Structure 1
Amino acid sequence: MTGLVVDILDLPPTIGATKQIHLDLAAPEDLGTEVIGAEPGSPLVVDAALVSMEDGVLVRGSARTRIHGECVRCLTGIDEDREITFDELYLLPDKAAEARADEEDEEADDLFVTGQTTIDLEPALRDALILGLPMRPLCRPDCAGLCSQCGERLDDLPADHHHDTIDPRWAALSELLPGSDEELD
């Protein structure tokens, strides 16, 4: 069991009954995408209200964590603090079985009360975080990226940075020029 699995034994089954939770733990490994996500092991603070419903438990919460990723243009590291909010209904096992039988609720397999005693907040938190993250993170909107010839960050190079290249179709003729032993920059 992970630290994001919450016990609901003390949540009264009366509709509208509420339980407040506060979790202060380390972010799990796979909370994000391959490009950007919660930095594994960084502090993750979750505050949520669990509300008894007829079909299950409604979880309304927020989480704060440190996000780490790389700019897709220049590969510079991106680090920022992020707050995520999420609202999810965790179905009771019998209601989840009904939803699966109806095949109308595609999420019935993901979010349900486990054995009527616990709920796992990690899938809901992961979904909310991924939806709030950019698909193509940038260090800044006007990032110039990398030089296609030398691979250096264009923002770190002078404005007149360039490489003299010879068209490969004419490369053999360049050997006939005087001083052809010198390489072109």
Structure 2
Amino acid sequence: MAGKSKHGARGITRGGHQSPFVLDISRLGMRPGSMITFDETVSSPSRIGIELIAIPEGAPVDLDLRLESVSEGVLVSGTASAPTSGECARCLTPVTGDVEIYLTELFAYPDSATEATTDDDDEVGRVVDDTVDLEQPIIDAVGMQLPFSPVCREDCPGLCPECGAPLADFENDAEPHGHDVIDPRWAKLAAMKPVDEDRPDPDAGGRE
């Protein structure tokens, strides 16, 4: 048995489930070797990623999956890809890109040996009411795949430590960007108003 889903075509449907990553597998059946392929673009139900970069909520996620019935459950394998957006870890300018993850997940049938010998905290999912939920596996895989410190370019110089301006903005200037740094011990003196040398000295009268 095999079928294919393409933007609502026959095969796997999500039915009334809220998350687009919850797939209805009722047509797959439980006979080992039965297979259904799933090729569809869905909207990300939430922001998926890490602090500085992620798949935005509502972004298109391309799913290219194969669901196969095995003796203990349903084996899901394939890829998920989506655009990403975030900010550079060095200069905080916007960065965009793409991420692609590879999935190989087993979802145990109710009352199977795998279901009976694994806990809910284990890395084995469950088939629930003829559905499999890929949301957490996708979240985990995306978090592992994305760079912890994304950069706008490999040689990004970052921000000026004095004024916070992106140093890349000054790369074509004739003079390097910089600031006069005053020794804090002399800061109070630098803030004082200079003495006007043209002002007459009141104590100078009568001097020879």
User: TM over 0.5, yes or no?
Assistant: yes
TM bin, normalised by shorter chain, reads 0.7 to 0.9
Give the fraction of aligned pairs with identical amino acids, expressed as a percent: 40
Structure 1 length normalisation: TM-score? Answer: 0.84
State which of 141, 155, 170 in structure 1 corresponds to 2:186: 170
Quote how far apart the aligned CAs of 1:154 are: 0.3
Report SS of the residue matched to 1:107.
coil
Aligned to 1:183: none
Quote how far apart the aligned CAs of 1:175 are: 4.6
What is the alpha-carbon root mean square deviation over aligned residues?
2.1
Larger radius of gyration: 2
Moved over 4 A (4+): none
Aligned pairs (5 A) from 1:93-132: 93-94=110-111, 95-100=114-119, 106-108=122-124, 111-115=125-129, 117-132=130-145
Quote how far apart the aligned CAs of 1:49 are: 0.3
Count how many residue pairs are aligned between Structure 1 and Structure 2: 174
Aligned pairs (5 A) from 1:73-84: 73-84=90-101
One-letter amino acid matched to 1:145: G
One-letter amino acid matched to 1:120: D
Aligned to 1:6: 23
Higher RCO (CA 8 Å, separation ≥ 6 residues): 1
Aligned to 1:27: 44
Q: Distance in 2 between matches of 1:178 and 1:22?
A: 75
Give 5+ residue unaligned stretches, structure 2. 1-17, 197-208
Structure 1 pair 179–71 and aligned structure 2 pair: CA distance change class (3 A): farther
Quote how far apart the aligned CAs of 1:147 are: 0.5
Deviations 1:85-140 (A, max 9, x none): 2111112233334212xx9x7324xx21113x001111111222111110111111
Give 5+ residue unaligned stretches, structure 1. 181-185
Structure 2 length normalisation: TM-score? Answer: 0.76
Deviations 1:56-77 (A, max 9, x none): 1110111221111111100111
Quote how far apart the aligned CAs of 1:36 are: 1.0
